[in-house]
Amino acid sequence: EIVLTQSPGTLSLSPGKGATLSCRASQSVSSNYLAWYQQKPGQAPRLLIYGTSSRATGIPDRFSGSGSGTDFTLTISRLETEDFAVYYCQQYGSSPYTFGQGTKLEIK
């Protein structure tokens, strides 16, 4: 099983700042199979990024993804109040299809 470890656990930032979220895999993940999701309280996760760097439909371009192998990053430039949520990475390349434990992005 591929274990995904996200850091930091919590990130406190102010609106307008940039955020960098990390996801490290216990084994190499094909770049085609790394996704990022955003989850707000009481809602299902929402797909942001697939294939490491492709934005899902309707996702603003302040969200970007990068990485390869075992290290992946979600970057959010110019944080808006609606961006404060929990973010999860997920790998789709090897069953079981695992998720990271999440990074909570909170308003400072």
Partner 1 sequence: QVQLQQSGPGLVKPSQTLSLTCDISGDSVSSNSATWNWIRQSPSRGLEWLGRTSYRSKWFNDYAVSVKSRITINPDTSKNQFSLQLNSVTPEDTALYFCARGARSLSAYDYWGQGTLVTVSS
Q: Which residues bind partner 1 (CB under 8 A)?
A: 1, 32-33, 35, 37, 44-47, 50-51, 54, 56-57, 88, 90, 92-93, 95-102
**Rounded distance, CA 86 to CA 105, Å?**
6
CA–CA separation, 66 and 31 (whole Å): 9
Question: Which residue, 50 or 79, has its beta carbon nearer to partner 1?
Answer: 50
The least CB distance from residue 47 to partner 1, in Å, is: 5
**CA pair distance 22, 49, nearest whole angstrom:** 14
CB of 94 to partner 1, least distance (A): 11
**3 state DSSP class of 23:** strand
Comparison of 16 and 42: residue with beta carbon closer to partner 1: 42
Dihedral sign, CA of 12, 104, 80, 64? positive
Comparing CB distances to partner 1, the nearer of 1 and 61 is 1
Report, in Å, the least distance between residue 17 CB and partner 1.
Answer: 27
